[in-house]
Amino acid sequence: MSKTLTITLSDALEQALAQTAAQTNQSTEELILQLLTQNFVGQETSETTVPLKLTDDPLLQLAGCITSDVGDAADRHDYYLGKAIYDEMHQDD
C-alpha cells in the first residue's frame, strides 16, 4: 500500500534537491523517496546512491564563528563531542 504525501519545502531546500536530482538523473520525487527509504527503512534502492557532500552539512555554516584554544577541534570534533557526552553521563561516578 502506498500513500501520497504533500510537504512544503524552503526555496533553498527545493533548489538543493532539484540540483542533486538532476545530477543523478532522477526526478525530485524519486530522490526524496530514495533518501527516505535509505534513512528510515535502511534499504538501498535500485537508484544511484546520492553522495553526501561536505557542503551539505548544516553545521558547516557555523565554521569559524567561534575562537578556541583547542587547535585540533576541526579534526577531532567527534572525539570532543563523544567525550562531552560521556563526561555528562558519568558525572556522578
Q: Give me the pLDDT at residue 1, please.
A: 76
Q: Is residue 48 helix, strand or coil? A: coil
> Band of the pLDDT at 81, cuts 50, 70, 90?
confident
Residue 5 counted as domain residue = no
Per-residue model confidence as pLDDT tens digits over 23-73: 889 999 998 888 888 777 765 545 555 556 666 667 667 777 777 788 887
Strands (E) across the chain are located at none
Q: Give me the pLDDT at residue 28, please.
A: 92
- Measured between alpha carbons, how far is 37 from 52 in angstroms, rounded to an integer? 15
Residue 3 counted as domain residue = no
**9, 17 Cβ separation under 8 angstroms:** yes
Residue 24 lies in domain:
11-89
Distance, CA of 2 to chain centre: 26
Residue 15 counted as domain residue = yes
Residue 3 C-alpha cell reads as: 500513500
Residue 6 counted as domain residue = no
Number of domains in the chain: 1
